Chain A
């Protein structure tokens, strides 16, 4: 009886599309009901949304073929029954959405900064990037270059931050906040766990105070209270004040996230590091932090996404970020009433950035296998 029995194929009902459907969508009657309900919703809405945003929408010309220059020319105003979105408002004001009121002759500086941002960040994100070490040197000096490029100096015409706006402000706030808050957060987290009572009390007080108030309060404090404490005539730049508030806020949250990671590191790791003669900083830099940050990645990305979206709060203190520019567009009598288009566009831009961030964190988690049990490592 040595003949090899031919392995039988799995039952038809568990393979192929049908099998997948049965396993995942129709495994029991509750699942089936939910699946049918979701399907119904999709059928109801997806064609309508696609039609409104793309097929029936105006981009530059309306259905008469005229170039749209005000709301009255939008197809959906001329023909409310059939007209879709009127993207002309975005098309006409695209410059403002991207750069705010940055002078047009100088806009190459913003574009160059955007391009350099990509060069600075991509090698940082992917460790297989060729010549990564050399690129990383650039990453360190990029903030300084970008500052002078955007702000002016060294022969470049100075562009006051009042003229910055749109995506530029959103990115400056988001990137600076996230980039500065990370090292600050690490220091605060280590400080809070320090054995020295003065340091740990100070760090704890700072973290708890900042976490205890909403971001908007900090923004108000930076925007409204700070100038009253400074002598008249001494003005800190508005954007800088907001940046300080945003960075402090984010660093407190980052500190708690990293502290969570630190607490997950077994005591044995510390003892082992100490026993081979590493100093406090060596122990943290080489043994503890790499592991702690690895566990914290999902939460770090989570708070970063939160911050990126929170930057829209700066409208309250009078800075025109992407959303603020959108609202400004809606206040122009030429375009009054195209709120759906503007908000849709702004959410789309935010979605692209936050979705990219969350995808990257998934990639990182997979690469570093953060799911494994650190204690048993």
Chain B
């Protein structure tokens, strides 16, 4: 009986999930995209109230793919704890909320990560005056740690593995971690390396702070959708891939119009001059052209939001293309 009930419940759920997010989004007239309440470089409101950042660009790219209009998106702010229920309940169509792709989130929580838009890793930041050069020397340190995140678990693993002890100072937000570290209430602040960069950039004198060389975890951050709606998953996945492929092919928002006359077959396929890839996705033929035109390729988005010329100064590193020493790699567009 119990089994029957659970099968029933699952099938009802699956039926509901199959209702076609793409059609819902089209009917509604705008995309609902879950972002953070504010994380430097990834999603934060600018002075005019427009959301800006790598994740915000991801949301806009999907909106452009569906509607051809970067403004057809409503940003819904979510916290580390509210993001998954918000997605599961259908309140948002997708999350682009620097969320780490893990097996339990992908499988057990019933979501589908469609790709990686930023390869991050957990690091440590300390005051230079601490005189420590490696994280393994941090025995007995007080560590500021954001609760409810994968960083908390990684930290415990790392210290246990190295047989050293630590005292955790639980915090809720990045700001809190920043203030606690600057005020000396904790010796170490640990979070994703991108978060550490923004913390360091906000310091009165960045040279007084040191990011230790150890990166203790893999944190592939990427957009995710609900399980079971593959059509919609494909739309989000290929919106991201289109930006990466555009960088591989050297197409930017500036030369995209000229590229339409290119003689490279993949360029023509991507821009919708040849083939019917838009039709396959049930999108306009020029969906990828519009993404590149209105948002830019991956590199443009990266440089504008988190790159070396921004206050965050995050080098491309792992996020460089596979041809340039990184691991950013999109399947071929054919």
Contact = CB atoms under 8 A, between A and B. Distances in A.
Contact of B37 (A232, A233, A328): A328
A248 B89 CA distance: 23
Contacts of A246: none
Interface stretch (A131-139, A206-214, A317-325): A317-325
Interface residues of B, number: 45
Contacts of B204: 80, 337
Contact of A327 (B17, B78, B90, B173): B173
B196 to A, nearest CB: 13
Q: Which of A101, A336, A339 has its CB near the most chain B CB atoms (within 10 A)?
A: A336
Contacts of A328: 37-38, 44-45
A233 B49 CA distance: 28
A225 B89 CA distance: 10
B282 interface: no
A233 B16 contact: yes
Nearest to A163: B74
Interface in B78-134: 78-79, 81-82, 85-86, 88-91
B38 A316 contact: no
A377 B41 CA distance: 66
A328 B35 CA distance: 12
Contacts of B13: 232
B236 interface: no
B90 A232 contact: yes
A227 B201 CA distance: 38
Given A162-B75, A318-B86, A336-B198, A330 B175 contact: yes
B142 interface: no
B89 A232 contact: yes
Interface string B190-222: 000000001001111000000000000000000
Contacts of B251: none
Contact of B175 (A101, A223, A317, A339): A339
B202 A336 contact: yes
B91 A227 contact: yes
Interface string A98-112: 001100000000000
Contact of A101 (B39, B44, B45, B310): B45
A332 interface: yes
B175 A233 contact: no
B279 interface: no
A96 interface: yes
Contacts of A327: 37-38, 173, 175
Given A317-B82, A336-B198, A96 B49 contact: yes
A163 B77 CA distance: 10
Interface in A207-266: 220, 223-225, 227-228, 230-233, 235, 238
A332 B312 CA distance: 11
Contacts of A232: 13, 16-17, 19, 89-90
Contacts of A225: 85
A93 interface: yes
A93 B47 contact: yes
A92 interface: yes
B90 A233 contact: yes
Contact of B91 (A235, A316, A337): A235
Interface residues of A, number: 42
B168 interface: no
A318 B198 contact: no
A328 B36 CA distance: 9
B76 A318 contact: yes
B105 to A, nearest CB: 16
B37 A162 contact: no
A160 interface: yes
Contact of B49 (A95, A220, A316, A334): A95
A5 interface: no
B271 interface: no
B262 to A, nearest CB: 34
B85 A331 contact: no
A250 to B, nearest CB: 22
A317 B89 CA distance: 14
A96 B78 CA distance: 18
B289 to A, nearest CB: 29
Nearest to A233: B90
A337 B172 CA distance: 18
A324 B37 contact: yes
B157 interface: no
B128 to A, nearest CB: 18
A329 interface: yes
A233 B178 CA distance: 39
A334 B16 contact: no
A318 B95 CA distance: 13
Contacts of B16: 231-233
Given A327-B175, A336-B311, A223 B39 contact: no
Contacts of B46: 332, 334
B257 interface: no
A324 B50 CA distance: 15
A181 to B, nearest CB: 24
A321 to B, nearest CB: 11
A129 B112 CA distance: 61
A56 B36 CA distance: 35
Interface in B164-182: 172-175, 178-179
Interface string A152-169: 000000001011000000
Nearest to B172: A316
Contacts of A316: 79, 81-82, 172
A205 interface: no
B24 to A, nearest CB: 8
A95 to B, nearest CB: 7
Given A224-B85, A319-B77, 18 more contacts: A92-B47, A95-B49, A101-B49, A162-B74, A162-B75, A220-B82, A225-B85, A227-B86, A232-B17, A317-B82, A318-B37, A318-B82, A324-B38, A327-B37, A328-B37, A328-B44, A330-B202, A339-B175
Top-6 shortest CB links A-B: A227-B89, A337-B202, A331-B38, A328-B38, A331-B44, A232-B16
27 contacts: A220-B82, A223-B82, A227-B85, A227-B88, A228-B88, A228-B89, A232-B13, A232-B17, A233-B19, A235-B89, A316-B79, A316-B82, A316-B172, A317-B82, A318-B37, A318-B82, A319-B77, A320-B37, A324-B37, A327-B175, A328-B37, A328-B45, A331-B174, A332-B45, A332-B47, A336-B198, A337-B203
